[in-house]
Structure 1
């Protein structure tokens, strides 16, 4: 199929009348789309909630563990000059 044949086939397809869509198909599509949007919104809110909980947990851990402070030494320094 060369270019002119393809163009002619496309023109024939575009000139045809679109097929009739059953009316209940629209209602099903709207219902499923609404369900998908609600589910997506719920997942997004849950992810934000998990992220906020993780941030709070990290902050509490950092304030109690204080990982930036040097731990106390386990041995005493040698005593000299006695």
Structure 2
């Protein structure tokens, strides 16, 4: 297929009439899109809620456990003053 044949084929495709779409396609697409948008919004809100709950749980754990404090020693210190 050389260049003029390709150009003729493209011209033929471009000159065709646009196929008619079913009238209910637009309403179905809008309904489907709004459903997807609601689901995406709900998922985003749930993720923010989960992140907030994790942050609160971490803060409560940090206040209770105090991981920055050195734990008390398990052994007694050596007695050198005797």
Alignment TM-score, normalising by the size of structure 1: 0.88
Does 2:62 align with 1:62? yes
**What secondary structure, in the 3-state scheme, does the structure 1 residue paired with 2:18 have?**
coil
In structure 1, runs of 5+ residues without a counterpart are: none
The count of residues paired between Structure 1 and Structure 2 equals 82
Matched with 2:79 is: 79
1:1-80 superposed matches below 5 A: 1-80=1-80
**What secondary structure, in the 3-state scheme, does the structure 2 residue paired with 1:81 have?**
coil
**What secondary structure, in the 3-state scheme, does the structure 2 residue paired with 1:75 have?**
coil
Residues 16-52 of structure 1: CA distance to partner in whole angstroms, max 9, x if unpaired?
A: 1110001011111110111011011100110111011
**What secondary structure, in the 3-state scheme, does the structure 2 residue paired with 1:68 have?**
coil
> Residues 61 and 29 from structure 1, CA distance in 2 versus in 1: closer, same or farther, beyond 3 angstroms?
same
Between the aligned partners of 1:55 and 1:4, the Cα distance in structure 2 is 66
Between the aligned partners of 1:25 and 1:60, the Cα distance in structure 2 is 52
Alignment TM-score, normalising by the size of structure 2: 0.88
